[in-house]
Amino acid sequence: MGQIAAEETGSWVAETVIDAHAAMTRTAMRIVGSTLFGLDVTGDAARVGVALDGVLAISNRLLPLAQLVGQGLSPDEQSAAAQLIAELDDVIAGIIAQRRAAPGDRDVVSLLTRAVDDEGDGGGLSDREIRDEVMTLFLAGHETTANALAWTLHLLSHHPEALAQIAAEADRCGTGTGAVGLDQLEQLPITQAALREGMRLFPPAWLTTREVVQPTTIRGVDLAVGAQVIVSPWLTQRDPRWWPDADEFRIDRWLYPDEQRPKWAYFPFGGGARGCIGEHFAMLEATIILAEVARRWTISPAGDAPEPEFRVTLRPTPAVPLRLQRRAPH
Ligand code: HEM
C-alpha cells in the first residue's frame, strides 16, 4: 500500500490540476490488485473504469424495487448491461487464470483456488464461486475507498489549516522519503480524524438495507417479517441531534469525541454480522494514501465543487479538480 501510494502521489506534477477522484480510483485499484491479487492491474484500470461507470449508472435500476415501479431496464439497456458485465468478467477471468498458472503465497485469489470446504463436501471452489468472491472484493474494495479519499481531499482543499496539520503529522512520523506503513498508523490520529469526518459528510456507501426477520415495531411503525428497511449513514451522520454544526467539516470532533454520542450516530461501514469486512483494510489504505498526499502536496480547489451523485456509492461528480503545489521540504 505504502509503495503504491508513494509512487502514485510522487508522480504528480507541481502547478497542474488533477482530478482527485480519478487519481484516487487508480491508486485504490492498483492497491487492491496488488494486495488482494498480487497483480499489477494498471493496464486494466481504464477498461474496468469504463465498464464500472456503465454498471453503476444503471445498477439502481437493476434492483427489484426499480422493476416493480416500472423503472427497470429496457431490453436494449439489458443487453448493454450484459456487455458491460462481460467486460468486467473478462478482467476477473484474466486475474483467476494468471493465479492458477502461477499461484502466489498470500494473495486472496491463490488462497481461494486452494481452499477446501472442510465443513461441507470437502471440495474446492468452482471458477464461478471464485469469480463471485473476486468480483465482490474488487468492486467493493476500491470504489468506496477512492470515493472516501476524493471527498476528503475536496474538503481539505477548503480547509488548508487541517491539511497543514495532517502534513505536519506525516512529517513527525519520521517517514523521510520512505512510504508510510502499518507501524506508523497509530501515529496518524489527525489523518484518520480527517478521513472519519470526510466519511461522515460523504459516506461512500450512503445507504444499506436490512430484512426484518421477526415482527418488529420501531417508533410505532409495525414491520412485518420480510420487509426491507433502509438505513442511511448520509441522513444519520448529518442529524443535528448528534452532530452540532452538522454540515461543517471539523476534524476536532474525532480528536475530542463526544462521549454522549450514541454509537450508531456514525456507521459508514455498516455494522453487525454483515458489516463491511474491508473496514480495517480501507482505513489503513486511506490513511496511508492521505499521509502520502499531504506530505508532498498543498492542494487548492481548481473549479466547480463536485456534487454528490446518489448511486450505489456516493460519487463526487463530475470530478474533484485540485491544483497542486509542492510542499517545501521539512
Ligand atoms: C472507505 C471504504 C469502504 C466503505 C465506506 C465501505 C462500506 C461498506 C458498507 C456500508 C457495507 C454494508 C455493511 C452493512 O450493511 O452493515 C459494506 C460491505 C462490504 N464491504 Fe465495504 N466499504 C469500504 C471498503 C471495503 C474494502 C476495502 C473491501 C474489501 C477489501 C470491502 C468489502 C466489503 C464486502 C465484501 C462487504 C459485504 C459484507 C457482507 O455482506 O457480509 N469494503 N462496505
- 100-158: pLDDT as tens digits: 888 888 888 888 988 888 888 889 898 888 888 888 888 788 889 999 999 999 999 99
Identify the pLDDT of residue 304: 93
Rounded to the nearest 5 percent, the helix, strand and coil shares of the chain are 55, 10, 35
**Model pTM greater than 0.75?**
yes
145 CA distance to ligand 1 centroid (A)?
Answer: 10
User: Which residue(s) pair with 18 in the sheet?
Assistant: 322
Ligand 1 atom index nearest CA of 147: 1
Rounded to whole angstroms, how far apart are CA atoms 3 and 288?
Answer: 10
Mean per-residue pLDDT over the chain, rounded: 89
Cα–Cα distance for residue pair 247/240, rounded to 1 Å: 9
* Ligand 1 center to 327 CA (angstroms): 34
Q: How far is the CA of 76 from the centre of ligand 1 (A)?
A: 31
CA distances from 240 to 154, 214, 219, 261, 265 (A): 23, 31, 19, 11, 10
Pairing of strands 314-317, 297-301: unpaired
Residues of the chain with pLDDT under 70: 41-46, 48-49, 52-53, 56, 59-60, 63-69, 174-179, 329-330
The beta strand positions in the chain, using DSSP E, are 17-19, 208-211, 216-218, 221-223, 228-231, 297-301, 307-310, 314-317, 321-326
Instruction: Please report the pLDDT score of residue 93 as a whole number.
Output: 86
SS3 at position 246:
coil
Residue to substitute in 133, 144, 147 for testing ligand 1 pocket (most ligand atoms within 8 angstroms of CB) = 144
Name the residue with the closest Cα to ligand 1, atom 7.
269
Task: Say which residue the cell 484516487 belongs to.
Answer: 24
- Rounded alpha-carbon distances, angstroms, from residue 15 to 3, 27, 31, 79, 245: 24, 20, 26, 44, 34
Query: Distance from the CA of 13 to the center of ligand 1, in angstroms?
Result: 33
Neighbours of 19 (CB within 10 A): 18
Question: Is the Cβ–Cβ distance between 178 and 292 less than 8 Å?
Answer: no
* pLDDT of 121: 87
Distances (CA, A) of 247 to 17, 110, 141, 171, 242: 27, 44, 27, 30, 12
Protein residues with CB under 6 Å of any ligand 1 atom: 136-137, 140-141, 144-145, 148, 204-205, 208, 268-271, 274-278, 281-282
The Å distance, Cα 277 to ligand 1 centre, comes to 6
Cell numbers of 76, please? 436494449
pLDDT of residue 234: 97
Of 264, 271, 272, the residue nearest 243 (C-alpha): 264
Q: Return the C-alpha cell found at 63.
A: 434492483
Who contacts 235 (Cβ-Cβ below 8 Å, separation ≥6)? none
**2-326 in CATH: which number?**
1.10.630.10
Q: How many other C-beta atoms can be found within 10 angstroms of the C-beta atom of residue 11?
A: 8
The minimum-distance atom of ligand 1 relative to the CA of 204 is: 5
pLDDT number for residue 324? 98
Distances (CA, A) of 147 to 25, 118, 154, 220, 261: 8, 38, 10, 36, 26
To test the pocket of ligand 1, the residue of 269, 283, 285, 312 to mutate (highest count of ligand atoms within 8 Å of its CB) is 269
Mutate to test the pocket of ligand 1, among 147, 230, 269, 276 (most ligand atoms within 8 A of CB): 276
What local confidence, expressed as pLDDT, does residue 38 receive? Answer: 76
Nearest by Cα to 146 from 202, 188, 190, 84:
202
DSSP state at residue 304: S
**Residue identifier of the C-alpha nearest atom 37 of ligand 1:** 276
Supply the pLDDT for residue 43. 67
